[in-house]
Structure 1
């Protein structure tokens, strides 16, 4: 039987444009899993250069590696700083499930 050779796959190697990063992060946000969002931000930061992101965000490189992993639990302030350092913007839109009545209660 022929042996299959495998090698590790790293999403950061395939994020070559801002559009790639936006689509990847958008999919993670849509999934609604905080740990997935943190890990995806970590992948995007590694693709951009973790040292560069750390310097632009004012955060420590090692702490970013740790908090932006599958097991990480970054503070929301950290997430916002990383998103800004990556040149991205976080936007909000209503879901299809929000009703006009409940939207009317927002003041």
Structure 2
């Protein structure tokens, strides 16, 4: 029962990570890390599937071993954050308060990410 719950949570986190690729306010990486942790407790096969993924497997392995991110990963994530938040802010043209809120969220997110050791 416990393994089934962890596996279900793992797949929910994977789904949220996929949605987070498109939505700027939903982070992708933390959900993938949570999914990896859930799969590590429930399914060796699903955990290996994440670790062997060509796009983010190396980053998850690095996080599990050293709790760090590579500078290249940080640069790519920064680019994605800036682009997606800029698009969102541009779409909210007449709503200055929402634009300001999105800028604040982006800055907090970037600050948090760049404080993670390399």
When normalised by structure 1's length, the TM-score is 0.34
Greater relative contact order structure (CA < 8 Å, 6+ sep): 1
Q: TM-score, normalised by structure 2?
A: 0.32
For the pair shown, the structure with the greater C-alpha radius of gyration is: 1
